[in-house]
Amino acid sequence: MKIFAFTDDHLDAAVARLDPSSPTLTATEQHHADDLLARILNSAPDANVLGRPPAPLRPSPARRRRTPWVLAGGAVAVTTAGLVIAPQLRDEAARPTAWSATPTALSHDDARELGEACLDTTQKLLSRPHSTAEGSFAPEQRRAMRVVVAERRGPYDAVVLGNAAGFNLTCLTFATDGWVPTVSGSGFPLVSPARDSASVGFDATSKEGLVDGRFRRETANIAYGRVGADVTGVELDTSAGRVTASVSHGWFAASWPSADPLDVDPMTTVRMTLTLADGRTTEPTAYDALPQRDLPAELQSSPSPR
C-alpha cells in the first residue's frame, strides 16, 4: 500500500495545473495531472488523498500484512507546509546529491536534531482537529522513545524513534522539498523478533507538485523494524537494487527511491537477508512473510507465514 502525502503548496500548484486553459502541459505532465484529478474524484469524502489528518479509522483484519491502524489515511504519512522548523544539521554542506545503496552515518548531534524534529512534527500534527493520540502517538509511548536509527542517503534523511515495547515513529525527509518531514507510526507495536530474525514495517511517500515551473513527482520507500540479538546486518533486494540497511540499537532502517506505478505495492518483490553474529547469513526471505505488528486476536486474519 502506498501513502500519498502532499504539502499544501504542492497540492494547490498541482491542482492548478488541472486547469484546461493551461497551455504549457507536456504529455507527461498532463498524465500526472489526470492521475491526480482521478484520485481526488474517485476518493471517498473522508479519504486522505490530500495528506490531511482525519479521524482515525478502525483497523481492518484483511490488512494484517501492513500497518493496520490509521491516524491519517494509512500507515500514517503526513506532510504539511510550514508545519516544522527544519533541523539545522551540521554536515549539510557535505550532503551527497545522489541516492546511495549504502547509508551515510550521521553524527550524534544530527541524529538528535532529526529525532527532535520528528517528535515536534508529530506533536503539531496531533494538535490538529480530529487527530487522536493512540498507539505510537500516545504520550506515554512517545516519552519512552529514543533515536534508534538515523541515516542519510543523498537527498533522503531518515530517523526511527523506538521504545522497548516495539512502538515506533518514523520520519523521512526529502532534502529537495524544503525540509518538510513525513511522519509515520502505528496503533500496534512491532513484535519482538527471534534472536536470528526481524519484525518489519514499511511506508511509501509520494510528493508531487510544481518545481521550477515543471510538474514533478518523487516517491521513496522506507523499510524499518526490529532485529534479534544475533543480527548484525540487514540487506534488502529492492527495485533499486541491493540496499544495505542501517542497524543499531536492535532496529534497522533503509530508504530508496521508487519508480513503481502508484497502484503497485513495492514490497511484494523485496527480499531480506540477515547477517548473524557468527558470520552466517540467512536465506533471502520475502519481506511480507516476516513478522510484523502484534495485533489483537480479533483483528487478525487467517494465519499467514511468519
Amino acid at 7: T
**231 phi, psi to nearest 5 deg:** -90, 125
Which residue from 51, 170, 166, 77 is spatially nearest to 119, judged by alpha carbons?
Answer: 170
- The answer, yes or no, to whether residue 85 has pLDDT greater than 80, is no
Q: Give the span between the Cα atoms of 52 and 72, in whole angstroms.
A: 7
218 dihedral zone (left: phi>0; alpha: psi -120 to 50; beta): beta
Question: Residue 53: its pLDDT value, please?
Answer: 37
Q: What is the mean pLDDT of residues 49-68?
A: 34
Q: What is the mean pLDDT of residues 7-29?
A: 51
Name 280's Cβ contacts closer than 8 Å, sequence gap at least 6. Answer: none
- The answer, yes or no, to whether residue 118 has pLDDT greater than 70, is yes
pLDDT in tens, 252-296: 999 999 877 767 788 999 999 999 999 999 999 999 999 999 988
Question: Residue 171: its pLDDT value, please?
Answer: 94
pLDDT in tens, 217-233: 778 999 999 999 999 99
Question: Residue 218: its pLDDT value, please?
Answer: 79
Question: Residue 295: its pLDDT value, please?
Answer: 87
Per the CB < 8 A criterion, the answer to whether 79 and 179 are in contact is no
Question: Residue 71: its pLDDT value, please?
Answer: 30
**Domain assignments of the chain as residue spans, ordered by start:** 3-56+68-82+98-296
**Displacement of CA 155 from its chain's centroid (Å):** 15
Cβ neighbourhood burial of 114 (10 Å; 0-12, 13-18, 19+): buried
